[in-house]
Structure 1
Amino acid sequence: MKLKILYIIFLSILLFQMGCTEPYEIETVNFESVLVVESTITNEFKPQIVKLSRTSKLENPEILTVNNATVIVSSSDGNSFNFNWDSETGNYISQQPFSAQPNVSYTLDITTQDGKSYSSSAVTLPNSIKIDEVYAETIVSPTENRDGVQVLVNTADPTGKEKYFRYEYEETYKITAPNPSQYSAEIINYNPDEGTYKVILTQRVPEEICYSTEFSKGITQTTTTELNENRVFRFPVRYLSKEDARLQTRYSILVKQYVQSVEAYTFYKIVKELGSVESLLSQGQPGYIVGNMVSKSNSNEKVLGFFEASSMTSKRIYFNYQDFGFDKPPYFVDCEVLFLDYNDNTVLDDDPDERQTFYDYVTNRNYQVLSLGQGTVYRIVQPECSLCTSFSSNIRPNFWED
């Protein structure tokens, strides 16, 4: 399929804005509500996903999900897979898990709530190419000029048939709270007129170890078409500064490699060149790119997006900051332990009312009590420094290795 850019709206406006010294507010001219389709079915046996949304105005780039559509993937071997809309994610998820099979073509059909119908061209699954190696090396960032870790990928197709690759990653890192608290604090009998209350401290198991997972954003692709051999070598998929808090305890990254067709590779290459960095398609994208989706109801209607079948393989690695000779990175936030005296409830000494400060911090900001010492002096700290569950999860992933 030959892909081309039909038009890019607002180009002159954007160029004018870059040359102006006065602020210029971008406004949408001749806005069109266009259906956006994002879907990659893979050789993984799992519930497959179709994302449907509509373009929004540049001055209000919210994601407008499309609900209550009929979504079906049909295969040339006679199978049909229905998708249901999931209100939690806003995506359409197949009613049953399935995997794309070799030598079988797949077509996506969509009927929206207003009765409009859309269909993709038939796509087939490329050959599966295993990742040879995922590894991490110390590197100096050319843009940040700081030492860090670069995660690299090596892979090769000895047959020379598959030349287009896209990469995603899932990074999971262990978090250890620097100021774990073995108390939960409850304030009762608060008297706002007198500024008095009672603090009840109950012992608990400290919540100090958590695990967070984040997913890659944007489009990361490469091709071997201009190389002497069909080999991806030292391709960078993730850079982490040595100051990155994700490296503070233990870090793991799962790199996913998708083998693409030339049509899919070209489509997403153009999307990236137009500036999409937050998702496969930016709903506020100031342009229109022909994909492999068309309207069956109106041949003149524009549709954004691409339905793709891709072979996926993955590989996971773990490492610690010590593996590279780095010092321990700083924590995610600056942790300041405060000492507040319940008996200090005046401002005569130009000090804050520590009793009221303690009440406000514990009640309204969820500060955690670390200890009670010297009779009425409480040590407290912000929740992120004591309860890692305030921004992460204490559920250890099944795949995790220490």
Structure 2
Amino acid sequence: MMRTKILITVLLGIFISSSCTEPYEIEAVDYENVLVVESTITDELKPQIVKLSRTSPLENTDILVENGATVTIEGNNGENFSFSQNNISGYYVSNQEFRAQPNVAYTLQIVTSDGKRYSSSTVVLPPVVEMDQVYTEPIIDATENKDGVQVLVNTEDPTGNAKYFRYEYEETYKITAPNPSSFSTEIINYNLSTGTYDVILTPREPEEICFSTETSTGITQTSTTELNENKVFRFPVRYLSRFDPKIQTRYSILVKQYAQSVEAYTFYKIVKELGSIGSLLSQGQPGYVAGNMVAHANPDEKVLGFFEASSTTSERLYFNYEDFGFRKPPYFVDCEVMILDYLDNTTLDDDPNERETFYYLVTSKNYQVIRLAQGTLYTVVQPECSLCTSFSSNVQPDFWED
């Protein structure tokens, strides 16, 4: 029998401001077009998200969004929340902000564009458990080749009502371009036959300070069921090498903790374990993960994914590399600062045609002029080293603290 690999995207807590997905390459017998349902509603007041997609063959790495579905979340308290598909992301976003309420059972209802109906089992919000502490420690572990900073979490629930936790993070880091430019460069009047041109340098404010934000990927979970105390202690959420350019200037991390049901914890635990070696689609195989979604017309139809309700807490911290006595990490790229002479238009001196090189780098590679000397000597560098906006944003986040 022909065996075909497929890609499935497992969502890890989908939010408008921070969604994080990770592709899992898994092996299945033949390719099957299966609905994938991914959603976590939380006790945060915000637009909630449901993501619907289809499994796709390995040769198609695009996410196949399920379009035109009718999506509703129903609570047994009589509240119903309808969702509309976002034109950009393809996600289904609730038409109004809402938060999952304690002691309310929620059900996800889906009707696809071809009229097929799907629904989840009921889910209930787990108890809220505040994180006791989010903190950092320098770490040197030769066995794992780790030398840097570890972000750790401590959490305790004396009531014992919450035993399963999932963690995500959103990291934001400040970027300072090492070679800022005070000019914008324009080349005009290029003459193909002579190779001559005019260079116009216009003064501008250097774009040297930027901020980038990235969300975590992968499944990070822990359980206290096998511990003497219902306590999460020194649980590692994020590791950063001392050479990571993200900590070159200033770094911030927002750690999010989700209290889970045992069903949700078990589902994602199995997905993590089987994501690269098992079969999530082969019914009857050891790797099959059923989730909590079912098709109304055919209960044996395979539906991937999980709908869960999760209480969440978060905490943000900041640090600099100096806080740990580290040397400044290298920049994101190796900056190649070059001095090119417009008057050098020959290779007879065993040197590249610098006029031609300057033209090519500025017009084709967006190199930036950072200095002009003697009217014809241009010092240039890659855009990433001069304009941080070439790969980041110069908008400072509202939460940022220096």
TM-score (norm 1): 0.90
Q: Tell me which residue corresponds to 1:50.
A: 50
Equivalent-residue separation in structure 2 for 1:67 and 1:338 (angstroms): 51
Equivalent-residue separation in structure 1 for 2:114 and 2:343 (angstroms): 67
- 1:292 is displaced (CA, Å) by 0.4
Going from structure 1 to structure 2, the CA distance change for 1:282 and 1:176 (only over 3 Å counts) comes to: farther
Deviates more, 1:109-118 or 1:178-187: 109-118
Residue 370 of structure 2 aligns to which amino acid in structure 1? L
Q: Tell me which residue corresponds to 1:329.
A: 329
Q: Tell me which residue corresponds to 1:86.
A: 86
Equivalent-residue separation in structure 2 for 1:29 and 1:155 (angstroms): 42
Q: Tell me which residue corresponds to 1:158.
A: 158
Equivalent-residue separation in structure 1 for 2:362 and 2:87 (angstroms): 35
Going from structure 1 to structure 2, the CA distance change for 1:180 and 1:47 (only over 3 Å counts) comes to: same
Any idea what SS the aligned residue of 2:363 has? helix
Q: Does 2:173 align with 1:173?
A: yes
Going from structure 1 to structure 2, the CA distance change for 1:29 and 1:263 (only over 3 Å counts) comes to: closer
Any idea what SS the aligned residue of 2:56 has? coil
Q: Tell me which residue corresponds to 2:21.
A: none
Equivalent-residue separation in structure 1 for 2:398 and 2:120 (angstroms): 37
Q: Tell me which residue corresponds to 2:386.
A: 386
Equivalent-residue separation in structure 1 for 2:195 and 2:115 (angstroms): 63
Q: Which residues of 2 match residues 81-120 of structure 1 at below 5 A?
A: 81-120=81-120
Any idea what SS the aligned residue of 1:359 has? helix
Going from structure 1 to structure 2, the CA distance change for 1:255 and 1:142 (only over 3 Å counts) comes to: farther
Going from structure 1 to structure 2, the CA distance change for 1:157 and 1:276 (only over 3 Å counts) comes to: farther
- Asked if structure 2 preserves the Cα contact closer than 8 Å seen for 1:343 and 1:376, the reply is yes
Any idea what SS the aligned residue of 2:115 has? coil
Equivalent-residue separation in structure 1 for 2:76 and 2:356 (angstroms): 71
Q: Which residues of 2 match residues 170-209 of structure 1 at below 5 A?
A: 170-209=170-209
Equivalent-residue separation in structure 2 for 1:315 and 1:27 (angstroms): 38
Q: Alignment identity in percent?
A: 70
- 1:32 is displaced (CA, Å) by 0.7
Question: Residue deviations 1:189-232, cap 9 Å, x none?
Answer: 11112111111000000000000001000000000000000000
Equivalent-residue separation in structure 2 for 1:276 and 1:110 (angstroms): 29
Q: Which residues of 2 match residues 3-402 of structure 1 at below 5 A?
A: 29-141=29-141, 144-275=144-275, 288-402=288-402
Any idea what SS the aligned residue of 1:348 has? coil
Question: Residue deviations 1:230-274, cap 9 Å, x none?
Answer: 000000000000000001000000000000000000000000001
Going from structure 1 to structure 2, the CA distance change for 1:368 and 1:219 (only over 3 Å counts) comes to: same
- Asked if structure 2 preserves the Cα contact closer than 8 Å seen for 1:141 and 1:148, the reply is no
Equivalent-residue separation in structure 2 for 1:270 and 1:10 (angstroms): 21
5+ residue gaps in structure 1? 1-8, 12-25
Residue 225 of structure 2 aligns to which amino acid in structure 1? T
Any idea what SS the aligned residue of 2:57 has? coil
Q: Tell me which residue corresponds to 1:5.
A: none
Equivalent-residue separation in structure 2 for 1:112 and 1:81 (angstroms): 17
- Asked if structure 1 preserves the Cα contact closer than 8 Å seen for 2:280 and 2:289, the reply is no
5+ residue gaps in structure 2? 6-25
Count of matched residue positions in the alignment of Structure 1 and Structure 2: 376
Any idea what SS the aligned residue of 1:307 has? strand
- Asked if structure 2 preserves the Cα contact closer than 8 Å seen for 1:173 and 1:213, the reply is yes
Equivalent-residue separation in structure 2 for 1:34 and 1:171 (angstroms): 33
Structure 1 vs Structure 2 CA RMSD = 2.1
- Asked if structure 2 preserves the Cα contact closer than 8 Å seen for 1:27 and 1:58, the reply is no
Any idea what SS the aligned residue of 1:384 has? helix
Question: Residue deviations 1:144-172, cap 9 Å, x none?
Answer: 52420000000000101110000000000
Deviates more, 1:189-198 or 1:244-253: 189-198
Residue 231 of structure 1 aligns to which amino acid in structure 2? K
- Asked if structure 2 preserves the Cα contact closer than 8 Å seen for 1:27 and 1:59, the reply is no
Deviates more, 1:138-147 or 1:183-192: 138-147
Deviates more, 1:345-354 or 1:223-232: 345-354
Any idea what SS the aligned residue of 1:288 has? coil
Residue 129 of structure 2 aligns to which amino acid in structure 1? I
Question: Residue deviations 1:92-141, cap 9 Å, x none?
Answer: 11111100000101100111111111100010000000011000000024
Equivalent-residue separation in structure 2 for 1:161 and 1:142 (angstroms): 38
Any idea what SS the aligned residue of 2:246 has? helix
- 1:324 is displaced (CA, Å) by 0.3
- Asked if structure 2 preserves the Cα contact closer than 8 Å seen for 1:183 and 1:203, the reply is yes
Equivalent-residue separation in structure 1 for 2:389 and 2:378 (angstroms): 22
Equivalent-residue separation in structure 2 for 1:399 and 1:308 (angstroms): 29
- Asked if structure 2 preserves the Cα contact closer than 8 Å seen for 1:117 and 1:296, the reply is yes
- Asked if structure 2 preserves the Cα contact closer than 8 Å seen for 1:36 and 1:53, the reply is yes
Going from structure 1 to structure 2, the CA distance change for 1:112 and 1:221 (only over 3 Å counts) comes to: same
Residue 219 of structure 1 aligns to which amino acid in structure 2? I
Equivalent-residue separation in structure 2 for 1:148 and 1:366 (angstroms): 34
Going from structure 1 to structure 2, the CA distance change for 1:125 and 1:276 (only over 3 Å counts) comes to: farther
- 1:28 is displaced (CA, Å) by 6.6
Residue 290 of structure 2 aligns to which amino acid in structure 1? V
Deviates more, 1:88-97 or 1:263-272: 88-97
Equivalent-residue separation in structure 1 for 2:327 and 2:228 (angstroms): 41
Equivalent-residue separation in structure 2 for 1:172 and 1:74 (angstroms): 35
- Asked if structure 1 preserves the Cα contact closer than 8 Å seen for 2:119 and 2:295, the reply is yes
Any idea what SS the aligned residue of 2:322 has? helix
Any idea what SS the aligned residue of 1:327 has? coil
Equivalent-residue separation in structure 1 for 2:367 and 2:130 (angstroms): 48
Residue 376 of structure 2 aligns to which amino acid in structure 1? T
